Amino acid sequence: MDGLDDLKAKYLTAVAGVTDEGALEGLRVAALGKKGEVSALMAGLGKMEPDQRKAAGAMLNVLKDEIDAALRAKKAGLADAALDARLREEWLDVTLPGRPRPRGTIHPVSQVMEELTAIFADMGFAVAEGPQVESDWYNFDALNIPPEHPARQEHDTFFMHRAEGDDRPPHVLRTHTSPVQIRAMTEQGAPIRVIAPGRVYRMDMDQTHTPMFHQVEGLAIDRDISMANLKWTLEEFCRAFFEVDKVELRFRASHFPFTEPSAEVDIRYSNVGGQLRIGEGDKWMEILGSGMVHPKVLAAAGVNPDEWQGFAFGMGIDRIAMLKYGIPDLRAFFESDLRWLRHYGFSALDMPDLAGGLSA
């Protein structure tokens, strides 16, 4: 076909001289668009003889491909040039510090659970867990709590609903984590050394109590364990948890159905300018209950009380968290407004160890 070389030279020269993508698109339409020059020539192939059509079609395809390649190359070149221009005009200093982002913190109760777990792990205690919905036997009977005990009344305990005619033994929301001790002894036997942190439920609803709170109980069973071992364990825990060198505990005789003898434990403290200081001063504050495990409790868990003995203790996690971090208001734990926690300066997790140091 005549004139193809001139057509090729026309469009390749025009493409080379284009300086923006709008003009380049105009050239593409003029050459290869539906009504473009090359398209018009290809539309006329149907009027040619077969031999002529075959030769002309091949030449037109080559022309079309060359113009299309030139258009594509030019488009890529214009895009690169535009990017280079933007990079020269829009400058970003990547050495500037990033914008600070708010950082979440672990909840005080969760942090205290991690802290006390680490402390007791250093003393050889494993963590034991159990269900929050317990049978009446695990929650009361196995712990030597008699049927007439006030804790077994509906005004003190959440009982699960039973339909009329349902004669199954009653189930309750556990009132303490002591049932976990029974389950642990039943499964593992003696000797054993465990702590049982977790949620517990009681019908306490006033300014200083909530129906759901957190508790940790400890259990150590062996052949020669005594109250002296209990005292050392609690002193070491308080020293590490409150991060003080000196701790003084006072054991007061008390009564718990599951321990004999039983003792409530007070810690010496002072209050200076509204700040609680553990280990000094002339005041005492009750922090936990403890004692030697009652022989009937051991027997209920399948442990021979003639061969084994041990101690147990229990404390409120929410309470010791409030004492350590100076949070006097329970709303800081249970309200959704995080300003309560920030108000008391709560920070991220630091885990104390028995050496008195902090590890991240």
* pLDDT for the residue 56: 77
* pLDDT for the residue 343: 60
Burial 106-133 (b: 16+ CB within 10 A, else e): eebbebbbebbbbbbeebebebbebeee
Euclidean distance between CA atoms 342 and 46, whole angstroms: 83
Q: Which residue has the higher pLDDT, 225 or 275?
A: 225
For residue 359, which of 349, 108, 121 has the smallest C-alpha distance?
349
Please name the amino acid found at residue 144: N
Q: Which residue has the higher pLDDT, 2 or 34?
A: 34
* pLDDT for the residue 206: 63
The predicted-structure confidence for 183-199, as pLDDT tens digits, reads as follows 999 999 999 999 999 99
Backbone angles phi, psi at 49, to 5 degrees: -65, 155
The β-bridge relationship of strands 192-201 and 126-127 is: parallel
- Residue 82 confidence (pLDDT) above 70: yes
Sole residue written with tokens 């079609």: 57
The predicted-structure confidence for 39-79, as pLDDT tens digits, reads as follows 888 777 777 788 777 887 788 788 888 888 988 998 898 88
- Residue 128 confidence (pLDDT) above 90: yes
* pLDDT for the residue 166: 82
| CATH class of the domain defined by 108-344 | alpha beta
Ranked by mean pLDDT, which of 21-25, 33-37, 248-252 comes out on top? Answer: 248-252
* pLDDT for the residue 162: 82
Q: What is the DSSP string of 265-306?
A: EEEEEEEETTEEEET-SSEEEEEEEEEEEPHHHHHHTT--TT
* pLDDT for the residue 316: 92
Share of the chain above pLDDT 70, in %: 86
* pLDDT for the residue 8: 80
Q: From the annotation, which residues make up the binding site?
A: 260
Burial 334-355 (b: 16+ CB within 10 A, else e): eeeeeebbeeeebeeeebbeee
> What's the mean pLDDT when you consider all of the chain?
84
Ranges of each domain in the chain: 4-90, 108-344
* pLDDT for the residue 253: 95
Q: From the annotation, which residues make up the binding site for Mg(2+)?
A: 260
The predicted-structure confidence for 225-264, as pLDDT tens digits, reads as follows 999 999 999 999 999 999 998 899 999 999 999 999 999 9
Residue 331 half-sphere exposure toward CB, CA atoms < 13 A:
8
Q: Which pLDDT band, with edges at 50, 70 and 90, does 339 fall under?
A: low
Q: Which residue has the higher pLDDT, 116 or 340?
A: 116
